[in-house]
Amino acid sequence: MRAALLLPIALFVAATAAQTPAPARDSAAPPVATEPVGEPRTAATLRDREFGVSTRQFGLDRQVEMYQWRATAAGYERVWNAGRIDSQGYAPGHENPPSLPLENRRWWSDSASLDGRPIEAAVLQGLGEWRMFRPNFSRLPANLAATFQPEGDGLGSAENPLDPQIGDLRVSWRELRLPPLEGKVELVDGRWRMSAATAAAALNAAPVPAPVAAPEAEGAHRIWPWFGGGALVIAIALVGRRRRRAKARALGSDDKTA
């Protein structure tokens, strides 16, 4: 009798248990790793269009030097310098050109990424390492190729690289490479940025040197637009100076002969 009474109760409990929904499983996406796994990448090529130089690294730096007079305690010396040296007040025969025809320039990648997520510019500027490289000059415009020739890892305008003249130019390039970023960056709001410890260490370290530009010539260091014929003007000016030198040497030779 008792068994007959308990049977309906057992059936009711079993039916109720079958209808009770199971605890919901966590359907959230797995957390994104906060430590980098892959290697930094960049999607775009950086270009110095005036010279046809390019790199697939994270930065491109053009360095321009001009051969100039510099006053010393013992007199005057000729040096390569990245900014114009003001020769006002120098003795006759020691005048420097009024400006640099080319400026130092730097390009930064805006497509740097790590594990598919963007890298902040501060990471490139704080952790990147500048390294000299020798570009492929096959894309050097013809008018500049008539003025510049390979010299070391870059280009030079001197007729004889061992005997440069005042006003000659020397151009070289560096590219920015990123070291392994594990332990140096953290993922915040979908972007990689320097970790607090790395940022603090970067503040105490020597900053990445910027291209040197003399203050007095800053207004003059504006590259003439390539499509406006600026590069052609540079070439003509330098070639004209060469011709004047050659003419002066020829006249001097004629005077000696006479």
pLDDT at 243: 46
User: How far is the C-alpha of 105 from the C-alpha of 125, rounded, in Å?
Assistant: 15
pLDDT means per 10 residues, the chain with 258 residues, are 50 52 50 73 95 97 98 96 95 95 95 96 96 93 93 96 96 96 93 90 62 41 37 48 53 50
Residues 146 and 235: beta-carbon distance below 8 Å: yes
Domain ranges of the chain: 33-217
pLDDT at 218: 35
pLDDT at 201: 78
Amino acid, res. 246: A
User: How far is the C-alpha of 104 from the C-alpha of 218, rounded, in Å?
Assistant: 11
Can you give the pTM of this predicted structure?
0.68
User: How far is the C-alpha of 167 from the C-alpha of 155, rounded, in Å?
Assistant: 14
User: How far is the C-alpha of 142 from the C-alpha of 139, rounded, in Å?
Assistant: 9
